[in-house]
Structure 1
Amino acid sequence: MQSRRSAQWYAGNDRNSYLHRAWMRRGLPADAFDGRPHIAIANTASDLTPCNAHLDEVARSVRDGIHEAGGIALNLPVVSLGETQVRPTAMLWRNMAAMATEEMLRANPIDGVVLLGGCDKTIPSLLMAAASVDLPAVVMPGGPMLTGTFRGAPLGCGTGVWQLSEEVRAGTLSAAEFIRSESSMIRSKGHCNTMGTASTMGLLAEVLGMTLPGVAGIPAPDSRLLEAAHATGVHVVDMIDAGRRPSAVMSRGSFLNAIVALAALGGSTNAVVHLLAIAGRLGVELTQDDFDRTGAHVPLLVDLQPAGRFLMDDLHRAGGLHAVLNEVRDLLDPAALTVTGRPLVEYLDSAQVYDREVIRPREQPLQPAAGIAVLYGNLAPDGAVIKPAAASPELLSHRGPAVVFDSIEDLHARLDDPDLGVTADSVLILRGCGPKGYPGMPEVANLPLPAKLLAEGIRDMVRICDGRMSGTAYGTVVLHVTPEAAAGGPLAKVRTGDIIVLDVAARRLDVDVPDAELAARAPAAAAVNAFARPRRGWERLYVDTVGQANTGADCDFLLGSSGDEVSRESH
């Protein structure tokens, strides 16, 4: 019993151990405190996080598995972030959710944890927390929703919103039809069924080794998800007995494998900031440039929206994550482990592809080189990213005049002005949307196109922003520009009419202004006036301590791991 962390609370006959045991004796078995592992189920279920609303059901199956294996299951509700609900952006609270979960895991008498997440920020925040406290942990993803249809065609959630809303603005779809599509898009429980951030991070959690192999990507309504949840509950007991912690599972090789998978899947650009933040908690060496070096030349093999045609239940039907990984097996680190203690690649031997339209063969990819590209130049001294798989090929090398918006409010006020001086060759720039500037780095980088250009049939333009974009979005969008405008980046100095030069092949992003002139310019007053200036609370702490996108946008005081030791005993 002394080997259990929970024994620090429950073992002995003194007053404190009496209190700890007595207050927990509410239906627990008589031997609950005699050496059985106590396991938290960190549960992000919430009615205000619609994609996670079913996780209480998943938690019950996890609990049954824990009990079957001899453990004590303890439900631990943790901060939940609904991507579509919270304002100004869920990313503002990712670090707070990670911090709160970390502190509760450390403070409580538990020996391990099962992490239940689904919606975009929940799995990243849970992994950040688990990395920082480093207790035995395993992720149980909530799974994607089933495919909905509208007007006889599959409708991808998220991606369909961007497409249909632009058609309304272009006058080719009525507002009534647009509203009618709402109930068609969200067909079942689960998170977005496109290869957005939720799907991406659920799959990458498995590539990192942090789920039971074969679990990620199972649709939320599928009975096999509950079977996997039960098995996860059983397995976490074995992990505790083996002392297998996140720091022993997630190595640099694991993160490089995740970058390979990100490219082959056509995953979300948001994975860049999340993987960097998780690595930062572990102390694993990972940089923004690793995404380009390791992933840029990996072929896109999965034909899923927003880069392709199909949706997540199609990927599962076609063979799932393992079938994709098997196609790029030679690019994976064979030593990277999973929560089972065995290497990830060992689980690929039986992988099969059942639909070659959904999962392409390595020699016939959708795109031969589709990973994240990292750009540098006088407009992005510390880098910016672009997802070529979601861009228009003809725009990946482009030169055009800037049309600058100083804030999201400025964008909304002027974008559809018939007198706006904009053409298809213009480069739309939105600033003040980085971690400090908004705050929270909202998903606005894929700014809508001007209505008058939509009416002309234009459906893509070069867009540049210091914010993020939804993983369900598409277009030729340069995002995560660092330093952001609010942190003194040159984006704050660009003026409408300046010539912007984008050259993805050369990995360059520049404004064609002499260096001396650019340095001498003052930041635009309208942009500076729009930067966030919170006076109190989490927003104040966040703005004062958050890092830039190129390092994961974590708060400086949260970097690294503090382990599972509690600094003081209870009294």
Structure 2
Amino acid sequence: MTLRSAQWYAGENRNAYIHRAWMRRGIPTEGFERPQIAIANTASDLTPCNAHLTEVARSVANGVYEAGGIPLELPVVSLGETNVRPTAMLWRNMAAMATEEMLRANPIDGVVLLGGCDKTIPSLLMAAASVDLPAVVVPGGPMLTGTFRGVTLACGTDVWRLSEEVRAGTLSQTDFTRSESSMIRSRGHCNTMGTASTMALVAEALGTVVPGVAGTPAPDSRLLEAAHGTGRLAVELITEDRRPSTFLTKANFANAIVALAAIGGSTNAVVHLLAIAGRLGVELTLDDFDRIGSRVPVLVDLLPAGRYLMDDFHRAGGLLAVLREVRDLLDPDALTVTGKPLVDYLDDAPIWDPDVIHPREAPLVAQGGIAVLRGNLAPSGALIKPAAASPHLLRHRGRAVVFDSIEDFHARVDDPDLDVDADSVLVLRGCGPRGYPGMPEVSNMPLPQKLLAQGVRDMVRVCDGRMSGTAYGTVVLHVAPEAAAGGPLALVRTGDFIVLDVEARRLDLDVPADELARRVPNEATVAGFAAPKRGWERLYVDHVLQADTGADLDFLVGSSGSEVSRESH
């Protein structure tokens, strides 16, 4: 076996001397002949959900060293969903690009990817797919459930719920603030089936996590045990030359889509899986999510679509118990990072609590996967998550109330004179990948205060942005093309009628085609689009693709491999 790192360390020339000498700090001479395993660590105090990953990295390192490798911690770009402005999604591609370049540039043979908060696992997998070194993911895990006044709190979801109650006048600001210190009980990411939990579980279904690990709570000692074992596996990946391109196929993505539907996962997973597939050269389309996943039953009774939280999910059997129930929908040949098919891990995966993980014959929702909508308002597609929507709104015709930007929305939504009722359709544009920029999580628009006071708790909402995986409601999102890319969403006017028919997979603007052809975006709409002059934002806006293909940058799609173009001098 010839190690990639030997290109740096082998030989007696000056360059090899420099590489060894500067890395010799405690590494024995024979250490340079062992597999060099990077631990790509997204730990950061400013990414609170990932702050504990340094402890996890130590367990990984112990496993690597025990198996005969040399562990090397590599801090990489970390994106904290709650803190980064304007939206963490703006930098997902940058984090992926930076990680890819650091993996390629350094003398390493494989990598263990440590992620947790929403964009970190997708960016790490995009990087690993592009550089194509042996790689395996250790998800950081969800937090434990907090309580306030004897009631459990769902991280993220209850922020939206409680804030709406304050706006409706049914919860005091004082009590809302008091709940703050109870919301985050422990280390770890959100304990709902938000994007962080979704991406960890989907990464396992994809085959990039050791089966049975995703969903282990962050404070659980079994996470450290799994991290240790993953470190050992990383060394095996080198000896077996098991790289992402050797086992990640269309079948793996099909299994990930089935898992996404069965767990009632976040719509954000769609844009991330499309981007990862794009890096691998796997032909995955938006229609695959509807074709494969839309009829899959939702089996997991977790907030925001259900009642329970992630530590309940783990004790009830976790992802493998879910997948066992839908085994007939999985591709039996899709391999995992261990070299074995995913289905081989399902024989001993019982459901321990059928209230949390429903058996196939008694699903939470019979057909609850993500639905892909098309029509003259979304020619390239849009998404809706029926399990998080109100059933009576899944077929609806309503008058549009249009907002040209998120700033316009915040300025007018609570205006008592706003011409809106419960049947209206709230339309927010200028929030797509290019328009904002970064495609923020603003699609689940707060309802107008005067309607909240009347008892209204859901309305149809349409947006070219994203929605937090912890959110809920009848929200049509990821509308493509976005308004800033010339999509018809830019042409909607207040008073137009919008028709939503989820069963028929339609989203249409009820305006004659000839009239629509004559329309141009109004000045306020265009003024709301991003127009950065420099830096990453300028690069992003000039090169970002649309949501229906993963919102990657056009020049990052595909793989460049692990070879370095020039030697060091």
Q: Where does residue 31 of structure 1 map in the other structure? A: 30
> Deviation at 1:423?
0.2
Distance in 2 (CA, whole Å) between partners of 1:321 and 1:541 is 38
1:182-215 CA-to-partner distances (Å, cap 9, x unmatched) read 1111000000000000000001111111011111
- Counterparts of 1:230 and 1:244, CA distance in 2: 19
User: Pick from 175, 184, 193: which aligns with 1:195?
Assistant: 193
Where in structure 2 are the equivalents of 1:172-571 lying within 5 Å?
A: 172-571=170-569
* Structure 2 residue matching 1:557: 3-state secondary structure: coil
Aligned-partner Cα distance in 2 for 1:235–1:383: 40
Q: CA deviation digits over 1:156-200, x for unaligned, max 9? A: 000000100000000000001101111111000000000000000
Contact 1:210 1:249 in 2 (8 A): no
TM-score of the superposition, structure 1-length normalised?
0.99
8 Å Cα contact 1:40-1:113 kept in structure 2:
yes
CA distance in 2, matches of 1:457, 1:464: 21
The CA distance in 2 between the partners of 1:250 and 1:238, in whole Å, is 17
Unpaired runs of 5+ residues, structure 2, are none
Which letter does structure 2 place at the counterpart of 1:556?
D
Q: Is the contact made by 1:533 and 1:540 (CA closer than 8 Å) also made in structure 2?
A: yes
Q: Does 1:18 align with 2:17?
A: yes
SS at match of 2:30: coil
Question: What's the C-alpha RMSD, in Å, of the aligned pairs?
Answer: 0.5
Alignment equivalent of 1:139, drawn from 137, 140, 144: 137
- SS at the partner of 2:461? strand
CA distance in 1, matches of 2:59, 2:365: 40
Please list the CA deviations of residues 521-549 of structure 1 after superposition, one character each: whole Å capped at 9, or x if unmatched. 01121010010000000000000000000
Query: 2:450, 2:198 → 1: CA distance?
Result: 34
With 166-175 and 149-158 compared, the bigger mean Cα shift is at: 149-158
User: What is the Cα deviation at residue 152 of structure 1?
Assistant: 1.2
Q: How far, CA to CA, are the matches of 1:261 and 1:39 in structure 2?
A: 30
SS where residue 212 of structure 1 aligns? Answer: coil
Q: In 2, Cα distance between the equivalents of 1:400 and 1:286?
A: 33
Q: 1:49 aligns with which of 22, 47, 53?
A: 47
Displacement of 1:227 after TM fit?
0.3
Contact (CA 8 Å) 1:208, 1:249: kept in 2 or not? no
Maintained 8 Å contact 1:219/1:225? yes
Q: Which of 156, 159, 162 is 1:161 aligned to? A: 159
CA deviation map 1:231-254 (0-9, x unaligned): 000110001100000112211001
Contact 1:143 1:218 in 2 (8 A): yes
- 1:256-277 alpha-carbon deviations (Å, 9 max, x no partner): 1010000100000000000000
Output the TM-score relative to the length of structure 2: 1.00
Query: What is the CA–CA distance in structure 1 between the aligned matches of 2:458 and 2:364, rounded to whole Å?
Result: 20
2-structure distance, mates of 1:505, 1:196 = 25
CA positional deviation for 1:468: 0.1
Cα distance in 2 for partners of 1:388, 1:276 equals 20
The within-5 A match list for 1:117-136 is 117-136=115-134
Distance of 1:384 and 1:30 partners within structure 2: 57
Q: Is the 8 A contact 1:266 1:370 kept in 2?
A: yes
Counterpart Cα distance in 1 of 2:507 and 2:517: 17
Deviation at 1:26, TM superposition (A): 0.5
Residue 31 of structure 1 and its aligned partner are, at CA, apart by 1.1
Partner amino acid for 1:233?
Answer: G
Q: CA deviation at 1:30?
A: 2.5
**Matched residue type, 1:30:** T
Mapped partners of 2:198, 2:209: distance in 1: 14
SS at match of 1:480: strand
| In 2, Cα distance between equivalents of 1:248 and 1:239 | 11
Structure 1 residue 502, shift from structure 2 partner:
0.3
Matched AA of 1:140:
V
1:565 CA displacement: 0.4
What amino acid sits opposite 2:27 in the alignment? L
Q: Count how many residue pairs are aligned between Structure 1 and Structure 2.
A: 569
Q: CA deviation at 1:476?
A: 0.1
After TM superposition, give the deviation of residue 150 of structure 1 in Å.
1.5
Distance 1:285 1:359 in 2: 32
Q: What amino acid is the match of 2:16?
A: S
Q: CA deviation at 1:151?
A: 2.1
Secondary structure, counterpart of 2:481 in structure 1: coil
How many angstroms does 1:435 deviate by?
0.2
Query: Structure 1: which amino acid aligns with 2:19?
Result: H
The residue aligned with 1:6 is 5
Distance in 2 between residues matched to 1:402 and 1:524, nearest whole Å: 16
Distance (whole Å) between structure 2 residues aligned to residue 540 and residue 370 of structure 1: 38
Once residues 282 and 515 of structure 1 are traced to their aligned partners in structure 2, the CA distance between those partners, rounded to angstroms, is: 39
Distance 2:453 2:28 in 1: 69
SS across alignment from 1:8 = helix
Q: State whether structure 2 residue 86 is matched by structure 1 residue 88.
A: yes
2:214 is aligned with what amino acid? A
From 57, 60, 85, the counterpart of 1:59: 57
- State the SS of the aligned residue for 1:398: strand
Cα distance in 2 between the residues matched to 1:397 and 1:498: 17
Structure 1 unmatched runs, 5+: none
Query: Partners of 1:322 and 1:351 in 2: how far apart?
Result: 6
- Letter paired with 1:101: T
SS in 2 for 1:31: helix
By how many angstroms is 1:326 displaced?
Answer: 0.2
Amino acid at match of 2:273: L
1:115 corresponds to which residue? 113
Separation in structure 2 between the aligned mates of residue 458 and residue 150 of structure 1, nearest angstrom: 25
Displacement over 3 Å in runs of 4+: none
What amino acid is aligned across from residue 501 of structure 2 in structure 1? Answer: D
| One-letter amino acid of the counterpart of residue 178, structure 2 | R
The one-letter amino acid of 1:88's match is P
Contact 1:303–1:359 (Cα < 8 Å) also in 2: yes
